[in-house]
Every structure is written in structure tokens, then in C-alpha cells.
Structure 1
Amino acid sequence: MDAGAFVTDAFLQSVLQAAADARQQCLHMLDFIDQNRAAQPDPDAEMQLSRQQKLLHSNLAKLRGLNRRALLETRNTKQQTQEAKSEIDSLHLHLQNLYYEQRHLIGDIAACQGYNHKYQSLPLVPVDEILAANPELAEADEHDLMVARINHEHAERQTLEEQRQGLLKKKQSLINDNNKKKDELAALDKEIEKFLDSAAPLQQKFDQHDQHNQKATASA
């Protein structure tokens, strides 16, 4: 099969053509030598053979030049192919990294979608009440309505927390007042005890006087 059937590059076709011309010239010279074999050399034949040799040398020189150029271009093509292959390998590796990152992100998204968020367990106000209190949300989407419900719950909890803090302060104030009154009562008890202790001798004298009067009355 003719090699030219597989070669489509114009330069390589010119190389094949130069090789075919050189081959044809060699065959022509061999035929000429066979046809002009003689005991005595013929000057005209030798001149023609010399011209054919020059033509062959010219064809061979052209073929060598084309062959050298073809080798250089082949080398450059191999280099370019290697560089292109390296670039493709790098792009393939980058693509694999992107696939890996994509799978990782898909997994994260699925985990976020399946995550049991705390807001799902909050006793949020119904949507109807939010819409009734905020008519401007009538055209809001599900996300905005959820944000509004969470904000409402947050505001309610802040109000309750403020009330709780106020009650704690009031409770602490009452505890302080009770402790103060306990201290005052304890101090009063001590004063009464001191008074009773100091009045004991006087009470004893009163008792003795009463006893004396009773005896005097009994004698009379």
C-alpha cells in the first residue's frame, strides 16, 4: 500500500516525493549503466552518467535537507505533544479536584439540609399572626416569613428576659429588706433581754415587798 495514502501533511508529502524522485533517479542510473556496458568506455555515456550522478546528488541533498527538517519538526511536534499532554494531565487533575470539591460541597449541603436546627423546635408564632401583625409581609416568601417569626420570638424572649431580670431585682430587694428586718428584730430581742436582765433585781424587790405586805395583812 502506498505510504502517501496515510500521509496528509503537505511537507511530509514533499519528503516522500523527494525520496521517490531520488529512488527513481537511482533506478534510471542502474538501467543506464546496464545498457551502456562496453569494453571501451564511451565519452558521451560517461558524460550522461556524470550528469545523472549530479542530479542524483542534488536529489539526495534535497532529501537529506527535507529529512533533517522533518526530524526537527518531528522533535518539535513531540515536544509540543508532551507539553499539551502535560497541560491535559494538569487540567484533568484540576477537574478531578473540582469533582472532589463538588462531592464535598454536595455532602455539606445535604448535611445542612438534614441538620436539626434549633429554630425548628422553637414555639414560633403562627404565620397567620405574623401576617396579621405585619401586613407588609403579605408578599414575602417562606424564608422572609421564617426570619420574621424568629425575630418575633427573639423580641418576645427579650421582653420576658427583661421582666425576669426585673423580678429578680425585686426579689433581691425583698430579700434585703427581710434580712434588714431580721437584723432589727434580732437587735430588739437583745435589747429586751438586756432590759429583762437589768429589771430582774427590781422585780425581786417588788416580790419581796408584796410578800411583806401580805404577812402584815395576815397579822392584823
Structure 2
Amino acid sequence: MAEADQIIQQLRDLATPEYDAYDTEVIHIRASALISRSKALNRSANLATRTRKDATAIARQEMDQSYLGLQNLLYEKRHLEREIEKCRQFASVYQDVPLYPLEEFQRLAPEEARTSTVMENEHQLMLNRLSFELAERQRLDQKRKEMLNLKEELLKEGKLNSTKLDNVKTQIDMLVKTAFEIQKKVEDLVQPLPAADAMPTN
């Protein structure tokens, strides 16, 4: 910038009266040289300006991209915070599941489900307690089904025995009835024996 000011000042000086004594051709050559230098400086300044503008545009674009990325991250952060809060407030089914008390779990659960590492990890401990509860319920449900099957078998056997008993009772009743009828017929066919005092004597 200082060089451009010097060139302009020198051109102004060429137009002052003190250069009237100089040959016009010399002044013209000097002025042409100064103008050429001024144009070169102008081209350099324009090139530098374009370079700076391009660099500024690139920097602005990078800054815009960074800002957009930051906004996206902030949005994602807020979204995750909302999801975390929802998870914290979510009333899960497992919270209503009656579990074995911790002491019972420690006494009954397999060794690998109640190691010291597990007992120190609240999340893993809850997972293991739920798994143990599920296994126990499945075992008890299987036992319940077996007991129900046994009950059904006993009921069937009892019903069969009851049917047999009813059949036997019916047969006995029929036998008693038949015997009674036979006895009656026999009594009708056989004359009663005379009394002892009515029997003839020799």
C-alpha cells in the first residue's frame, strides 16, 4: 500500500511546474513506467483480494459446517437426554414382579449368579435375580403341571373305582332280589311242615 502511495505521489509530482523544464518524452516514459508499476500493483492487490476472499469463503464454509455439526450434536444430546429421562421414568414390569428376597437369592441361587462381582453391580444383580426368578417359576410351574397330571390320574382312577363299586352294588342288589324271589317261589311250592302235636302217632 505504501508503494502505491509513493507511485501516486510521483505521478502527481510529474504534473508540478518544477518538471516543466524536463523533456516531455522523458516525463512520458517516466509516467508510463509508474503507471505500469501501478497496474502491476493493482493486479497483485486484486489477486491477493481474490485469494483472501476464497480463503474467507472456505473458512466460512468450514465454520458453517462446524456450526451445523454442533447444532446436530446439541439436538442429538437433547434427544438422548429426553430418552434417558423417559427410561428413568419408565415403569417396567419387573418392578412389579415379586422376587425372592435378597437373602433367599443368596442362599438358593447358583454360585455363578451371586459372586462378589455380581453383588457389587446393581444392574447385573437385578438381571441375575430376574433370571433366577424365571428359572424358579418355570421349575415350580413344571411341578404344578406334574401334580395336576397326577391329580387327573387319581381322579380317573377314583372314578373308575367308583364305577366298579356301583356295578358291584348293582349286582349285589340284583342277587339279593333274585334270592328273595327264589326264596318266595320255594316257599310257595313247599308246604309248611305240620306242627308237632298234629303229627300222627303210632
How does the TM-score come out when normalised to structure 1?
0.65
Paired residue secondary structure (2:121) = helix
CA distance in 1, matches of 2:126, 2:63: 53
Partners of 2:119 and 2:125 within 8 A in 1: no
What are the equivalent positions in structure 2 for 1:93-132 lying under 5 Å apart?
A: 93-121=68-96, 122-123=98-99, 125-126=101-102, 130=106
Equivalent residue for 1:29?
15
Find 2:43's aligned residue among 62, 68, 77.
68
Count of aligned pairs: 190
CA distance in 2, matches of 1:161, 1:198: 55
- Using the TM superposition, give the Cα deviation of residue 29 of structure 1 relative to its aligned residue in structure 2, in angstroms: 3.2
CA distance in 2, matches of 1:60, 1:205: 161
Equivalent residue for 2:188?
211
Tell me the alpha carbon deviations over residues 148-173 of structure 1, each in whole angstroms, 9 at most, x when there is no partner: 46635643563454244224312312
- Using the TM superposition, give the Cα deviation of residue 124 of structure 1 relative to its aligned residue in structure 2, in angstroms: 5.2
- Using the TM superposition, give the Cα deviation of residue 66 of structure 1 relative to its aligned residue in structure 2, in angstroms: 1.3
* 1:58 pairs with 2:33: yes
CA distance in 2, matches of 1:97, 1:145: 34
Identity level (%): 19
Name the aligned partner's letter for residue 56 of structure 1.
Answer: A
Equivalent residue for 1:90?
65
Partners of 2:11 and 2:31 within 8 A in 1: yes
- Using the TM superposition, give the Cα deviation of residue 183 of structure 1 relative to its aligned residue in structure 2, in angstroms: 2.9
Structure 1 66/149 Cα, relative in aligned 2: closer, same or farther at 3 Å?
closer
Q: Which structure has more RCO (C-alpha within 8 Å, separation ≥ 6)?
A: 1
Equivalent residue for 1:155?
132
Name the aligned partner's letter for residue 61 of structure 1.
Answer: S
Partners of 1:25 and 1:56 within 8 A in 2: yes
CA distance in 2, matches of 1:136, 1:185: 56
RMSD over aligned CA atoms reads: 3.9
Structure 1 74/142 Cα, relative in aligned 2: closer, same or farther at 3 Å?
farther
Equivalent residue for 2:199?
none
- Using the TM superposition, give the Cα deviation of residue 98 of structure 1 relative to its aligned residue in structure 2, in angstroms: 0.5
Instruction: Return 67-76 or 111-120, whichever deviates more.
Output: 111-120
Partners of 1:18 and 1:63 within 8 A in 2: yes
Equivalent residue for 1:173?
150
Name the aligned partner's letter for residue 150 of structure 2.
Answer: S
Tell me the alpha carbon deviations over residues 14-72 of structure 1, each in whole angstroms, 9 at most, x when there is no partner: xx423432442333334246x55xxxxxxxx4xx3211211110010011111012112
* Structure 1 unpaired stretches of 5+: 1-12, 37-44
Instruction: Return 103-112 or 58-67, whichever deviates more.
Output: 103-112
What are the equivalent positions in structure 2 for 1:133-152 lying under 5 Å apart?
A: 137=116, 143-144=120-121, 147-148=124-125, 151-152=128-129
